[in-house]
Amino acid sequence: MCDVSLEDVAKELDADTDGAFVNMVSVDVAEYARTHFEKSVRKTLTIPAWLNIAAREKKINFSQTLQDALIAKIKA
């Protein structure tokens, strides 16, 4: 086990130790990164020409629509 010195942490953060305490927090760093950091990945897909024309006429954002649909499928 490792000891945490409030004084050392306060000094590093240039903070006061009045009312300070040590608390242990467990974090799934991989899950946090998946949820909060978005690295885009290019995907190529094929749709019928009529669907492409109709969607473009309605100014539908293909990328956002695909993301929304995939998230809905994942949560279902």
pLDDT digits (tens, 9 = 90+) for 50-70: 999 999 999 999 999 999 999
Higher pLDDT, 19 or 44: 44
Predicted pLDDT at 4? 83
Q: What is the CA radius of gyration of the chain?
A: 24
- The DSSP secondary-structure symbol of 45 reads -
Contacts of 21 (CB under 8 A, 6+ apart): 6
pTM over the 0.85 mark: no
Largest CA distance in the chain: 68
Encode pLDDT of 37-54 as tens digits: 878 889 999 999 999 999
